[in-house]
Amino acid sequence: MIITEEQMSVAAMVGDWLKKEVAPVCAEYDVKGEFPQQFYDGMVELGLNLISAPEEFGGLGLSCLEQTLIAEQLGKYEPGLGSAVGVNASATHLMTLFANDAQKKIFFDILVNGGWAGFCLTEPGAGSDAAGLSTTAVEDGGDYVLNGTKCFITNGAIAGAYTVFATVDKTMGLKGITCFLVERDRAGISIGKHEDKMGIRLSNTTEVVFEDVRVPKDHIIGEIGQGFKIAMGTLNESRINVGAMGVGLASRALEEAIRYANTRVQFKKPISNLQMIQGMLADMAMDVESARQLVYHTAELVDARLPYTKFSSMSKCRGSDVAMKVAVDALQIFGGYGYMKEYPMEKMVRDAKIFQIYEGTNQVQRTVIAKELLK
């Protein structure tokens, strides 16, 4: 599909900001592991914490395709910041799709005032098998009382609101899982371990601990027992963003490889004259373009309100596999220099890996695709 200037307008603005303000210095923050508050402030100024929010609650009213184009720019220039925006968008999708107006007001007011959101599903004992979660929600008067630890939570320490999944009765399995809107300032919430990550080091990833956290009943999203359906329904849409970030990262890796191949001289000629390098570049370009078209097509299906589950998993899987492969191949074209932190490929290879893991691993996506095929 061909993208128009109008569809690209917000993404182009975001891309310009990332290129000018973030890309030149992000490697320093990656090494230091220091939280770059000014970039998060910059993203709030651009409205990136509200990209998926409905207009009536302060959102930008963007189509899925426009959001996908923004995710591509974030993946291209700084996947750590992209991950913060992506998870914030997951919580936003959840609230938009499943919350009532009063709950939306509480949540979106936090975001409109510059806040971020977290999506608290994963636990130490419940990753791919999210239905095996152990965080409990026990009814007590007009409240539910939450106890448990969530791990690997993006925006964990910076979020003003969380969507939290807990079970009202573990013996009920899937049917006990319930989703709650939980504001950060509720008593009993603390931030546990801050993860020291391989990549996307400009994102904040922590444990979030709930100890006797009282949440009023009117903060239940949907109905008791609908939590698993809500989590899967949300991720179904939001994982397109991961595929888009993968495409963005891969396209940047290809650009860097072309630039390097045209300037690096060996055997008295730029290495771009070597047919093996040309073959690698051609393969990388085919991978990027085919993944990009798959991601755009999926976003079009979402915007047209057509079935997209299989395509969403395919986009996440293909976009992230292409990111990993193209980043590694680009590093190979850089030779020994690619292995050094002084050059961009080392960080890009580390950043690319997460796309195959979070929002449901690529193995899990393949099981979803196969299930859809075999229906």
Ligand X SMILES: Cc1cc2nc3c(=O)[nH]c(=O)nc-3n(C[C@H](O)[C@H](O)[C@H](O)COP(=O)(O)OP(=O)(O)OC[C@H]3O[C@@H](n4cnc5c(N)ncnc54)[C@H](O)[C@@H]3O)c2cc1C
Name the residue nearer to ligand X (CB basis): 69 or 202: 202
Name the residue nearer to ligand X (CB basis): 50 or 153: 153
Query: What does the alpha-carbon distance between residue 81 and residue 89 come to, in Å, rounded to a whole number?
Result: 12
User: Which positions are catalytic?
Assistant: 359
Which phi-psi region, left, alpha or beta, contains residue 319 (left: φ > 0; alpha: ψ -120 to 50)? alpha
Which phi-psi region, left, alpha or beta, contains residue 141 (left: φ > 0; alpha: ψ -120 to 50)? left
CA distance readout (Å), 318 to 166, 210, 223, 244, 367: 31, 36, 34, 10, 14
Please give the sequence-ordered ranges of beta strands (E in DSSP) within the chain, or none if there are none.
Answer: 116-120, 136-140, 143-154, 159-167, 177-183, 189-194, 205-216, 220-221, 265-266, 269-270
95 neighbors 267 (Cβ within 8 angstroms):
no
Query: What does the alpha-carbon distance between residue 178 and residue 194 come to, in Å, rounded to a whole number?
Result: 26
Residues binding ligand X (CB under 6 A): 87, 119-122, 127-128, 152-154, 197, 200, 205, 354, 357-361, 363-364, 367
By Cβ distance, which residue is nearest to ligand X? 127
Name the residue nearer to ligand X (CB basis): 97 or 357: 357
* Shortest Cβ 315–ligand X spacing (Å): 17
* Shortest Cβ 138–ligand X spacing (Å): 21
Query: What does the alpha-carbon distance between residue 270 and residue 267 come to, in Å, rounded to a whole number?
Result: 8
* Shortest Cβ 141–ligand X spacing (Å): 29
Query: What does the alpha-carbon distance between residue 334 and residue 328 come to, in Å, rounded to a whole number?
Result: 10
Query: What does the alpha-carbon distance between residue 177 and residue 128 come to, in Å, rounded to a whole number?
Result: 15
Name the residue nearer to ligand X (CB basis): 68 or 122: 122
* Shortest Cβ 197–ligand X spacing (Å): 6
Name the residue nearer to ligand X (CB basis): 7 or 96: 96
Residue 372 three-state SS? helix
Name the residue nearer to ligand X (CB basis): 128 or 293: 128
* Shortest Cβ 153–ligand X spacing (Å): 5
* Shortest Cβ 1–ligand X spacing (Å): 29
Characterize the bridge pairing of strands 159-167 and 116-120.
parallel
* Shortest Cβ 152–ligand X spacing (Å): 4
Name the residue nearer to ligand X (CB basis): 7 or 178: 178
Sign of the dihedral through C-alpha 308, 44, 105, 227: positive
Neighbours of 4 (CB within 10 A): 8
Query: What does the alpha-carbon distance between residue 265 and residue 282 come to, in Å, rounded to a whole number?
Result: 20
143 neighbors 217 (Cβ within 8 angstroms):
yes
